Amino acid sequence: MMGHVDDTSARVWVKGSAPATAQLRVGTGEEMGDVIEGAEIMLGGEHDFTGTLLVEGLVANRAYLYEVLLGGSVAGKGRFRTTPAPGTPGRLRFALTSCFGKEGTDSAPGLAELVKAGPLDLVLFLGDNHYADTTGREGQAIGYASQRGTPEFLAATRSLPVYSIWDDHDFGPNDSDGTAAGKEGSLATFRDYSANPAYGEKDNPGVYFAFSRGDVDFVMLDARYHRSPDRAPDDGTKTMLGARQLAWLKQTLKGSKAKLKFVSAGSEWQMYSHLDSWTSYARERGEILDFIHDEKIEGVILLSGDRHFTGGYQVRGEVIELTAGPMGSKNFPTKNLPDMFVNEGEGKLFAVMEADTTVTPPEVAMEIYKAGAGRVWRRDFTWDEVNGRASIPKLECALANLPPVYSDDFEKGRDAWSTTDEAAWKIVETENGGHCFSLFKQSAYEPPHRSPINIAFLKDKVVGDFELKAKVKTTSRDYPHRSMCLFFGYQDPSHFYYVHLGQATDDHANQIFIVNAADRIKISETTTAGTPWDASRWHDVRIVRRVGSGRIEVYFDDMEKPAMTATDRTFGSGRVGLGSFDDEGNWDDFELRGLESGR
């Protein structure tokens, strides 16, 4: 397999079936003239008879042939071209894909199509390159070998430089993270089976690295080795990259002089993805996107895999993302999502990016390929679209009619709810003979920061975009701060949003608030003079949340005109709840529609 190539050197990955010496010979022309020999290495059992062969002293932008010698005999041949000198403008065409499937043959049709899609300068494997689902070295090696030995893989990669990162299935079990036992073995085997230019940093292991092709930079991230669990609270310490890798990413982007910068991660970046993605790491994702915006770093394009469909997005309306695959796994098609401008969900898929930095401004195009069908989509992008100064036309999206998540009329009890004090809540009969969920006394609960004490959370439901409707009736005395509350974006007791429906408005009442490791702070942009509570009747309440824009709207009785609005993207997906600050009241006819954070 062809590995990293630059302007003066090349790497070739090789695996034998027994101990043997291995060497790389490189020459020019069809007769292998001007031969340069790389150092001889030993393929040993401790590395599953694998090794990376390196040859140096090459000339920039020149075509070469190579031979791999095992035990002194030629065992394989291929060809490659060195890159232009760093910073040289040029035209680049590369492929990207992910999700190769359980069996090595699963990806055969996709790899055969990849060969036909040439000429290509390189290919990015963006994770789930096998499905061993273990950190054990033996299982990992079997997973890699099942792919590498197929004729289709050999045909696709013997002359096409391969750069790879991992995702969950080729790192460890499904949705695994930095707490996975044995991850050091996964990393050791990954290094045995790849020929990347680097693996993390000194004293910070991982599979992340960067490389350049002329006037284009590639930043390849490790989204698993240092990752917090997906369901950990987004409390300011939760991370996908780890502090060192995050700092390295920022430094690499800020220091880049390339016109285009492709940033790759196994997990999808877009705002409406599932639990095992950047959706669960909204703070860190926002920090990265804000850094790109604030530092005015142009030409950044995000790449990803994992999703088992191929899609394109303009994330936050600012940065293009392309997620590509599956090369061999079964498909998981998705409905059109916000920010999405292309959606291909059937077949064995990969994508191709074209970049031309010889012109001003640079030109960028994307293509999607399907096994057996060839190219099925292409689009050229303006430089303003690449940099978020112009909007890319989006696909028609049905999010105006969000799918139902859960509804409750409380006729079957309260088992779907957890509370800050079980003794403060009960099911009671309503005036019409039905039942409702009653907060009938104060909770014995002390929050870590100044915030509501009476909360009932919906269990096991985490949503991003949502619409919540309910009926509420106050049972408290008439006084200025008489109120009830709704909760959303809940991460943990120190990190969440809530709506305070207070009878009179001030900085601490009748507002939308955020609790972010400190006492609550109002974030309302608009609100009313007060919530007109009438204790003799039920009131209708509704909350609308859009994660991508950060838009929050709150409605009270009038379902057409919002009583409160806010814009905040601090927290992404989270739990929702009902309750109050320190008053009593009843809830009924709860309905939640939205996008759940889970595949």
Residue 37: CATH number of its domain: 2.60.40.380
Choose one of 386, 421, 448: the last residue of a domain.
386
Rg of the chain over all Cα atoms, to the nearest angstrom? 28
Residue 391 lies in a domain: no
In this structure, are residues 346 and 110 in contact, taking their beta carbons and an 8 Å threshold?
no
Mutual orientation of helices 282-294 and 243-255 as an angle, nearest 10°?
Answer: 20
Determine the pLDDT at residue 104.
92
Residue 393 lies in a domain: no
For 483, list phi and psi in degrees, rounded to 5.
-160, 165
Closest CA to 69 of 91, 90, 53: 53
d(CA 282, CA 269) in angstroms, rounded, equals 10
190 and 330 housed in the same domain: yes
292 and 222 housed in the same domain: yes
Q: Quick check: 296 pLDDT over 90?
A: yes
Determine the pLDDT at residue 598.
47
24 and 159 housed in the same domain: no
61 and 113 housed in the same domain: no
Q: Per mean pLDDT, which range of 28-37, 294-303, 454-463 is the poorest?
A: 28-37
125 and 221 housed in the same domain: yes
Determine the pLDDT at residue 599.
32
Q: What mean pLDDT comes out for the span 22-37?
A: 93
Q: Quick check: 483 pLDDT over 80?
A: yes
The angle formed by the CA atoms of residues 64, 65 and 71, to the nearest 5 degrees, is 135
CA contacts within 13 A on the Cβ side of 571 = 28
In this structure, are residues 43 and 36 in contact, taking their beta carbons and an 8 Å threshold?
no
Centre a 10 Å sphere on the Cβ of residue 105 and count the other Cβ atoms it contains: 15
Helices marked H in 207-256: 243-255
Q: What mean pLDDT comes out for the span 313-340?
A: 94
Q: Quick check: 405 pLDDT over 50?
A: yes
420 and 358 housed in the same domain: no
Q: What is the DSSP string of 347-363?
A: SSEEEEEEEE-SSSS-E
Determine the pLDDT at residue 38.
95
Closest CA to 256 of 291, 204, 217: 217
- How many independent structural domains does the chain possess? 3
Give 235's pLDDT tier (boundaries 50, 70, 90): confident
In this structure, are residues 536 and 473 in contact, taking their beta carbons and an 8 Å threshold?
no
Q: What domain range is 1 assigned to?
A: 1-83
Residue 158 lies in a domain: yes
Place of tokens 């860190």: 284
Closest CA to 193 of 139, 133, 146, 144: 144
364 and 459 housed in the same domain: no
328 and 429 housed in the same domain: no
Residue 396 lies in a domain: no
Determine the pLDDT at residue 437.
98
Helices marked H in 179-281: 183-192, 243-255
CATH code of the domain containing 504: 2.60.120.560
Closest CA to 340 of 355, 321, 368: 321
Choose one of 335, 355, 386: the last residue of a domain.
386
d(CA 135, CA 186) in angstroms, rounded, equals 5
Residue 10 lies in a domain: yes
d(CA 535, CA 472) in angstroms, rounded, equals 10
Q: What mean pLDDT comes out for the span 218-245?
A: 95
The angle formed by the CA atoms of residues 250, 252 and 258, to the nearest 5 degrees, is 125
Residues 185-197: tens digit of each pLDDT: 999 999 999 999 9
201 and 308 housed in the same domain: yes
Q: Quick check: 401 pLDDT over 80?
A: no
d(CA 99, CA 345) in angstroms, rounded, equals 13
Q: Quick check: 396 pLDDT over 90?
A: no
Give 590's pLDDT tier (boundaries 50, 70, 90): very high
Q: Quick check: 321 pLDDT over 90?
A: yes
Determine the pLDDT at residue 399.
53
Residue 392 lies in a domain: no
Helices marked H in 131-281: 137-148, 151-157, 168-171, 183-192, 243-255
Choose one of 37, 67, 83: the last residue of a domain.
83
Give 233's pLDDT tier (boundaries 50, 70, 90): confident
Determine the pLDDT at residue 439.
98
Entry pTM: 0.80
d(CA 414, CA 476) in angstroms, rounded, equals 22
280 and 233 housed in the same domain: yes
452 and 585 housed in the same domain: yes
Residue 468 lies in a domain: yes
| Mean pLDDT computed over every residue of the chain | 95
Residue 527 lies in a domain: yes
138 and 44 housed in the same domain: no
Q: Per mean pLDDT, which range of 18-22, 105-109, 393-397, 438-442 is the poorest?
A: 393-397
